[in-house]
Amino acid sequence: MKVTEDVVEAAAERLENAARLGVACAPVADLIGPDDIDAAYRVQQLLTERRLAAGARIVGRKIGLTSPAVQRQIGVDRPDFGVLFDDMRYNDGDEIPIGRLLQPKAEAEVAFLLSHDIHDASDPAAVRAAIAFAFPALEIVDTRIADWRIGITDTIADNASSGVFVLGAIGSPPGAFEPVDVTMAMRRGGEVVSQGTGRDCLGDPLNALAWLAATAIDLGTPLRAGDLVLSGALGPMVSVDPGDVFEAVIAPLGTVTARFSQKEAEA
Indicate if the pLDDT at residue 5 is higher than 60: yes
Give the distance, in angstroms, between the CA of residue 114 and the centroid of all CA atoms in the same chain: 17
Domains and CATH numbers, the chain: 59-260 (3.90.850.10)
pLDDT tens digit sequence for 158-188:
999 999 999 999 999 999 999 999 999 999 9
Q: What pTM did the predictor assign?
A: 0.93
E strand or H helix at 61: strand 58-64
Distance of CA 56 to CAs 31, 47, 88, 167, Å? 27, 11, 10, 19
- Per-residue model confidence as pLDDT tens digits over 109-154: 999 999 999 999 999 899 999 999 999 999 999 999 999 999 999 9
For 38-88, how does the pLDDT look when each residue is reduced to its tens digit (9 = 90+)?
Answer: 999 999 999 999 999 999 999 999 999 888 877 787 777 788 999 999 999
**pLDDT at residue number 74:** 74
